[in-house]
A and B are shown apart, each in its own frame.
Chain A
Amino acid sequence: MESNRIEYLLGRYEEGETTLAEEKELREYFSQKEIPEHLEAYALLFKFQAHESKAVYTEDKVLKLESKNYRFAWTSIAAVIIVALGIFYFNQSQPSLTTSEMSAVNDQEQALEKTKQTLKMVSAMMNEGTADLVYLQEFNKTKNQIIELN
């Protein structure tokens, strides 16, 4: 009688008509040892279902990832603070330098003197530089000789 009911349930099972409770009944029936031979295929199928429901997700990467996220967040905040401080520092220090220089030469005559001095220095340097150009004339001489030969 029981096997009649099981076969009836299996028919409905294959049509997708069984309820969860009926499927549970089938699963329980097939979990026992003695199964009629013609139903062995079903036994395997239900064993497979039980077997497959045992796989577990063991990784706890999720939590690790979340804490990693926080670490990233704090480094980015630190980086922003450093950059902000850097910009703040440079913005402050540059104008203070230029104003101190400006204040040193606020007198007109002094400024003129200073300019003259620097210009003189520049021209002296230039002359020093051009003095070395004499050597180049030697090159020109030999070059001209070659051109004449041709």
Chain B
Amino acid sequence: MRKFLAAVLSMMLLASLIVLPASAEEAVTMDNIKIGFVHVSDPSDMGYTYNHDLGTKAMQAALGLADDQIINKYNVPETDECADALQELIDDGCTIIFGTSFGFENYMLAAAEENPDVEFCHATGFQAAGSGLANMHNYFGKIFEARYLSGVVAGMKSLEIKNNMLGYVTAMPFAECISGFTSFYLGAKSVNPDVTMKVMYTNSWNDPTKEAQVAQALIDQGCGILSQHCDSTATATTCEANKVFHVGYNSSMISVAPNASLTSAVWDWSAYLIFAVNSVVAGEAIPADWAGDLASGMCDLSEINEAIAAPGTDEAVETARAGILSGDLKVFAGPLTGAGKNYDGSDATIELKADEFFDESGSQSAPSWNYIIPGVEVIGE
């Protein structure tokens, strides 16, 4: 047995000795650039990775890249396996690598230090600017602008159905999620001042069973419109089954909940991907921190479900959109108070006066609004 295994293994070793010749150094052009992606899940999640992958495809089409110029590493956990995946992409000749999950950042920082000739772009992170590495970059977007618009759609619907209670299924109690539901609520409140909102966490980014349970619990408490910040469409389908309304995230969910889903706040990651790849080919520096927004097209509202949206919705959304684009409308604008936690766990409060506003994602692309405002009730904390 041992002899046999030894024979097999030595054969495998022999086979592995056939090493491909190293390609000669040449200038990076659009025809030879290799682009790597490291994703924490795969497009079958129909949420975050799916949407990022749509961005990749749009980038490929826009830049005319061949299939073998893009290498995707899917289902990479936020452990040392990320370091191995990055190394694999570098060995395969990638000169720009996008990592899309928060927990990849430290492995990307280490790889960036080791490989100064390769550009590393990390979504949702916050350490690039402080790292001092010219080839490490963070990117994210002001999705709160799109969420505010989606809140306007929900607020209009709440006036029509005369139910002022909104519900919100979200992943985890931290700034990205809190900033998300606060902007949604503020959008709704801008058209319906009496609206309130109940929020429940699933403590997971993608757990369809739990998302459905939390959605059901919120509906049972009387919420007439639910929104969500988690990957699956379970919230939408639960709303459909219960004949209540829904506002989605990441992608349009009208196809799975045609009688419930009003619209979604969505990402178009290709805006950044195209920009970053163009920069590499042109030999220009990529900013350390990049936050896309409504204006750059990275964040937007998906189509509005005209069959069920309240009358006047389009006009209200366009008014708000024009305000955000012109800069007259700030989402986190005073007068506004809120209570939350500092990073060290101590209590924190914020109090914005009438002429003040909180510059969300202004200095750092990752969201930082971490306060619960009056009218919003977090259940189970």
The reply to whether chain A is a binding partner of chain B is: no
| Interface residues in chain B, defined as those with a beta carbon under 8 Å from any beta carbon in chain A | none
| Interface residues in chain A, defined as those with a beta carbon under 8 Å from any beta carbon in chain B | none
